Structures are given as structure tokens and as C-alpha cells.
Amino acid sequence: MDTPRLIRPRVRLVGGVCAGFAEHTGLPLPVVRTVTVLLTVCGGAGALLYAWLWATTPVAENSADPLKNVLTRPTDAASADSGRVRSAPVTEILLGVALLAAAAALVASRLGVDVPLAFVIPAIVVLSGAGLAWRQFDDLRQQRSSSSSALLVRALGALVLVALGILLFFVTGEEPNVWTVFTAAIAVLFGVAIVVAPWLVRLTRDLADERAARVREADRAEIAAHLHDSVLQTLALIQQKADPSSEASRLARAQERELRDWLFAGSPASSVDLAAELRRIAAVIEQEYAAQIDVVSAGQSPPSVPDALLGAAREAMLNAARHAGGMVSVFLESSPTAVDLTVTDRGPGLVLDDIPADRMGVRESILGRMHRIGGTAELVPGPGGTGTEVRLSLPLNAGVHHVES
């Protein structure tokens, strides 16, 4: 999928630059990674480009829309919180490379090769100091660690390392005079500023984002409260006044449902669970038939249920709305071991033996479906002997689920 803006995803291998670029342009990720590595090997352009993009592109919004995240990346649901954790220990690797480079430089100079040690050693110290500092600042900004004061100390330590490295450039110079000292001081100041700047920029951006989000949330809450107090009340009143099977009542109910969905949208609890799905089906059926379908749920829906269960439930609700009408109750109970669903109506009643064998509706679409997925379906008289109650039961973790195609 092409993203309109180049952003770095939170789930990433190194800095997320390649992944972000691939997503932005639609190129396959392995190709982008290979090209980057090739460019890096051939003269280091890849690394520079990578660093530049890393510094300038923002990180993907952190679950601005948790619902959407859950919907689009089901496998990442568990990593929604741990998504920030990088999968490669970049800092450690870079530090190791720096140490290796320092050691190699030392060995090479011992062996007589003319290595500009006076330049190489301070450079390595500065670079590793900068890397460490950035890492600490990043942690500090995300409050990843429990004690931020310890982080601050470590970040300051890394900054001192940067300063030391810069000073080393000048200490190794031959005769120190006023100008050397002056230049060294300026250089240290600039060096530290360059290391700190990206962190400060990000911090201000975070603050601005946060403030904007708060304002949006407050606006939304106010609108929701207003609609809740005025429109929802009126819709409730219309339903109360109108005949339950009338057009006015049906419209009011449909509107109430829609408004409620909108008002409570974004709250994770009203997400992709079975109960929400049943409510959606109920809303569709209510538009067509003179029935009020009340869906009540208890327990946490299992992460996935066979489509056939929903299909059977839909058929039962449709039957109730079509043949009985009026008030239809749907009760869903999801325990860790089973899903039980009852659809109760107060219509003329339905006895399975009386149904002609050629009427496939109930037999096939409810009973047959449930049997095929290893569940059971029962038709019993409704409350007090009137109406019909359809009881669907599906044991969980019980063998293979033949999901209906």
C-alpha cells in the first residue's frame, strides 16, 4: 500500500527507513534493503542517505487508530505495545564496529602502516558518543525505562564522551595557544548542540502532537456529550411513543444505532468482536423487518469464530424477525471453553418436526451449519411456552474448525 507521506513504521529492523520507503513507493522491501546495502558498500552513499532519511522522516503515528491497527494487522496485535522495540540492537552493533575499527587502526599503526591515529581515534570517540547519546535521548523521550534520572545521567555521560572526543582533536595538536583553546571550546559547544538538536526537535514535535490530540479529543467529547443529551434522548422518545413495529420506530432505532456507533467509535471495546458483529447484523435485519432485535453479550468474545456460527445466528435472527417480529432477544455468552448464543422471539412458535423436509431454511442453514463446525443447534419453545428459542452452542478448541467458504 502506498502511503501519502514518507513515514517510518514502528515495527522495524534497524531504523525503519527501508520499510517506510518501501511502503511509500510501493517497491518490494527486500529490493529497497539490497539497494541500500549496495549503495553503502559502494562508497557509503547508502549509509549517508539512510542517516539523512532517518533524521528527517517522522515515525509512524503511534496507534492513532487502535481499531484500525487491530483490523489491518491482526498478527501484530500483540506487538502493538512492544512495537517500539527495535528488532536489531543497532547501537550495540555500531559500538562494536567502532571498537573494532579503533583496534584495527591501532594494530595497523603498530605494523607500520601510516594511519592518521590523531584523527581516527577522536573521530571514533565522537561518533560512538553521539550514537550513545541519541540512543539515550530516544529512550528518555519515550520514557521506556523506569527511572528517567538514570537515563539522563547516561545521556549526559555520552555527551561528555562527545566533548572529550572533540577535545582530543585539539589536544593532539603540537603547541596549544589561545586560539586552539578557543576553537576547541567552540567546537565542543557545536558538537554537543548538533547531538542534542534532533532530540529537541523531536521533543517539541511530540509536545505539539500531544496538544493537538488533546484538543481534538476534547472537541469530540463535547460534541458527543451534546448529541448524547439531545439527539439520543429524542430518538429514545420517538421509539417509546411510536408503535414498535412502525416505520417511525424503526427509523429512530436505526438512527440511534448509527449515532451510537459514531459516538463510541474509537473505543477499543466496541471493536471487532462477535457481539459487535451480531449488532451489525441485527441493525441490517431491523431495517427490513418490523422487529426490534436486542443483542446482549456477556464474556469476552474469542478472537476468531467460524463464519458458520455467524451465518447460523443471522439465519435465526432473520427467521425470528420474519415470522415472529416484535421483540427479539439475542443473548451471547462466550466463556473460554464455549460460545453459547440464543435467539428468542415471541411469535407463533416453530416445531422442527412440523417443518416440511423440503424447507431447507432452518434445517440446512441453522442446524446443518452448526453440526458441520462441531457445534449444536436446538429449537425449543420460547419463554412461557410462546414463541421460539434457537440455541446455538459451539465448543471452542474442539478439533478442527471447518470454516464455511
Return residues touching other proteins (CB under 8 A): 228-229, 232-234, 236-237, 239-241, 244, 253, 256, 260, 264, 267, 269-270, 294, 296-299, 327, 329, 331, 333-336, 342, 344, 383-385, 389
How large is the angle between the packed helices 45-56 and 29-41, nearest 10 degrees? 120
Q: Is 224 left (phi over 0), alpha (psi -120 to 50) or beta?
A: alpha
| Element spanning 166, H or E | helix 148-171
Give the nearer residue to other proteins in terms of CB position, either 4 or 385: 385
- Cell numbers for 63: 496507534
Give the nearer residue to other proteins in terms of CB position, either 256 or 307: 256
By DSSP bridging, strand 326-334 and strand 338-344 are: antiparallel
Cβ at position 258, least distance to other proteins in Å = 14
Give the nearer residue to other proteins in terms of CB position, either 34 or 230: 230
Give the nearer residue to other proteins in terms of CB position, either 138 or 389: 389
Cβ at position 355, least distance to other proteins in Å = 23
Cα 26 to chain centroid distance, Å, stands at 21
Kindly calculate the radius of gyration of the chain based on its CA atoms and give it in whole angstroms: 33
**Distance of alpha carbon 100 from alpha carbon 245, whole angstroms:** 80
Cβ at position 334, least distance to other proteins in Å = 7
Give the nearer residue to other proteins in terms of CB position, either 178 or 269: 269
Give the nearer residue to other proteins in terms of CB position, either 20 or 382: 382
- Sign of the torsion formed by the C-alpha atoms of 66, 69, 74 and 76: negative
Residues 301 and 334: beta-carbon distance below 8 Å: yes
Listed in sequence order, the residues at least 6 apart from 135 whose beta carbon sits closer than 8 Å to its beta carbon are 91, 158
Residue 322 dihedral angles phi and psi, to the nearest 5°: -75, -45
Residues 284 and 316: beta-carbon distance below 8 Å: no
**Distance of alpha carbon 162 from alpha carbon 376, whole angstroms:** 70
State the distance between the two ends of the chain, measured CA to CA, in whole angstroms: 27
- Cell numbers for 351: 416445531
Give the nearer residue to other proteins in terms of CB position, either 46 or 266: 266
Tell me, what amino acid is at 26?
Answer: G
Cβ at position 390, least distance to other proteins in Å = 11
Cβ at position 377, least distance to other proteins in Å = 16
Cβ at position 328, least distance to other proteins in Å = 8
Strand order in the sheet with 388-395: 291-298, 326-334, 338-344, 388-395, 376-381
Cβ atoms < 10 Å from Cβ of 95: 16
Cβ at position 353, least distance to other proteins in Å = 22
Cβ at position 364, least distance to other proteins in Å = 25
Give the nearer residue to other proteins in terms of CB position, either 34 or 337: 337
Cβ at position 266, least distance to other proteins in Å = 12
Cβ at position 321, least distance to other proteins in Å = 14
